[in-house]
Structure 1
């Protein structure tokens, strides 16, 4: 499910619900630079000495303990499945097993629920857990962070003169479509309105009034939709065509339309509001196309088929990082002041690794889920920074 993620084409992105939604990726981020591609080296290495001591000193009990406990419980749901057993059979780091992750979660949940103070919590963590650090994109621990959220838009269950831009169900024959798959341009036309005339005819699930919003739902991989009849509809990822993700934010920067220092989701939305004719040029450049299913109420689910928790679930490359495990993120997070300004706040926080995404590749990419709605989107769109990533496991 992992960022709206990446309209921006830098090392981070904006929203990427990175579940097995494929497009859960950065709207702004395109491919990683060549020197940041995953290597054959182990993705995690033990953290020891002074750096480990500093991490323990930075970890504190969350203000909302119940939210972290809820996220831990969702990881238990995943770890109890046959999928988890299969995932961990192939896990590449020796010593990190499903059983060890399970026991680590049990102890962490107990400590979060019962620790009387941050000091007691830190002492228990230091005595009972060891830390593994991601090698990062550069082999030295540098991790690019982005944020993702679940957007909320208005929509209609039937097409109208106002609601014209569909989201589509997964074609029943998608697995047998010949390669190369049709491009976005071939599927929906240059104006986004031709889908009913070709391979997508009859697969319309719901209609939006704004073409860019329909595109952002594809990038995000899920959304909550307020229907015109008063109902609320959730949609989630159901499949995609086999094309790499292309960042329209990067394309705008490359064409000199937006200064790279000004690239953010609000500025990207403002650009297309002022230049709606450019949608026909830029949106088809992302040839990948996403299909949807109607989901259930409640929070969106990540790639582990369990709900993600705002502020406490991350998306990583699940071929490299331990699914469902306890992680600690360390980065500067945007925070809004009472005056409405945004400042960066150094943050070290325990989270659960419960999601992935099409652009979340290699040991140097993390997407933090920050919630639903416009306020969450504002926060997600401002997370575009580097940091560190750690995993906590009980001592053997």
Structure 2
């Protein structure tokens, strides 16, 4: 299964790296492709990019950013330099009349650092994530019976290892009063698969029976590793190892609903939620994530809030894939996004965003941009 990212709090602990295994390497401008840094979306989406830059600038002025950059393993990548880079890039975005003009200026003024990727040759696997919109109710009834839970008040005192998913919600998701989470129900959904997908995405907008929209977001998780249901299906021989997408997994589960009891309990990472009162989907560095301008990476090795360029195929509104180069901000992370070879792209909110996100399972390159000193 193509992993759709859970929006998780930022861990400030950086892994120990040596010069031999640093996550980024300086990349010569002359080796960049002619389309790298040519972002045609600027013609229609400059406002969103400027908003994403401002979100990162706000983060970089925070105490959380100061702590995060204290021990960053690449000496020339500092919080102050990342901040200066964003300030200058913002000026260039505002003043460049065309994507080509911005591309030329960025190649002239910035040093490019390429991720080593999953093979030390710069090849990165890209996936997508989104914020779903589902029907839900604040009251349980015969129609709405699959709960999402608040974080228990005594959760910090739970003994470890934490309970498995099946111990908290049962094989069918209906453990109810027999669960230690009884009384912590936040909202109920109609469909078990949709309830599980909210766990995977980490946030959602929920349409209540009275027509109001309720927004919920991540508020903690049990300390179990994330298990991809898609990978489990590959291991079981249901799908080949290559080319699996989220729509394929969802179609299988909807056509074989008896398999929900088999596969959902295999992911023991259990997510708790809180009502966010209309706040937008928020990334691990505490700022809103924006469609096709926010990415999630492994924050133990990549610089939080920094400016980056991604090159990969992204489905367009008609779901046809197109090779694109995008300026993005590194503003999120996730339980399945580990190492130098994984990036998740936030695709937005709702059905079309979900369809597009589900089709992203493609190779590409990731570059970070720092202003020349």
**What TM-score does the superposition give when structure 1 sets the normalisation length?**
0.88
**1:171 paired residue among 139, 152, 155:** 152
Gaps of 5+ in 1: 1-7, 23-37
**2:306 paired residue among 325, 328, 334:** 325
SS at match of 1:378: helix
**1:140 paired residue among 107, 114, 121:** 121
Contact 1:234 1:295 in 2 (8 A): yes
Contact 2:37 2:325 in 1 (8 A): no
Q: Verify: 1:185 aligned to 2:166, yes or no.
A: yes
Q: Verify: 1:218 aligned to 2:199, yes or no.
A: yes
Distance 1:42 1:261, change over 3 A: closer
C-alpha separation between the residues in 2 aligned to 1:345 and 1:129? 26
Contact 2:10 2:285 in 1 (8 A): no
More off after superposition, 299-308 vs 189-198: 189-198
C-alpha separation between the residues in 2 aligned to 1:226 and 1:45? 46
Equivalence for 1:3: none
Equivalence for 1:368: 345
The size of the alignment, in residue pairs, is 366
**What TM-score does the superposition give when structure 2 sets the normalisation length?**
0.93
Equivalence for 1:240: 221
Structure 1 residue 192, shift from structure 2 partner? 0.8
C-alpha separation between the residues in 2 aligned to 1:195 and 1:284? 16
**2:4 paired residue among 12, 15, 18:** 15
SS at match of 2:104: helix
Equivalence for 2:368: 391
Distance 1:382 1:49, change over 3 A: same
Q: Deviations over 1:102-135 (max 9, x none)?
A: 1111111111111123343233212211111111
**2:325 paired residue among 324, 348, 352:** 348
Distance 1:377 1:21, change over 3 A: farther
Distance 1:257 1:117, change over 3 A: closer
Equivalence for 1:28: none
Distance 1:110 1:61, change over 3 A: farther
Q: Verify: 1:230 aligned to 2:207, yes or no.
A: no
Q: Deviations over 1:23-71 (max 9, x none)?
A: xxxxxxxxxxxxxxx9961111111152147465645671211110010
C-alpha separation between the residues in 2 aligned to 1:298 and 1:372? 13
C-alpha separation between the residues in 2 aligned to 1:52 and 1:375? 32
Q: Verify: 1:380 aligned to 2:357, yes or no.
A: yes
C-alpha separation between the residues in 1 aligned to 2:162 and 2:292? 36
Structure 1 residue 14, shift from structure 2 partner? 4.6
Contact 1:149 1:373 in 2 (8 A): yes
Q: Verify: 1:109 aligned to 2:90, yes or no.
A: yes
Structure 1 residue 295, shift from structure 2 partner? 1.0
C-alpha separation between the residues in 2 aligned to 1:254 and 1:74? 40
More off after superposition, 348-357 vs 38-47: 38-47
Equivalence for 1:286: 267
Equivalence for 1:335: 316
Gaps of 5+ in 2: 12-16
Q: Verify: 1:88 aligned to 2:69, yes or no.
A: yes
C-alpha separation between the residues in 2 aligned to 1:198 and 1:346? 47
**1:295 paired residue among 276, 281, 300:** 276
Equivalence for 2:14: none
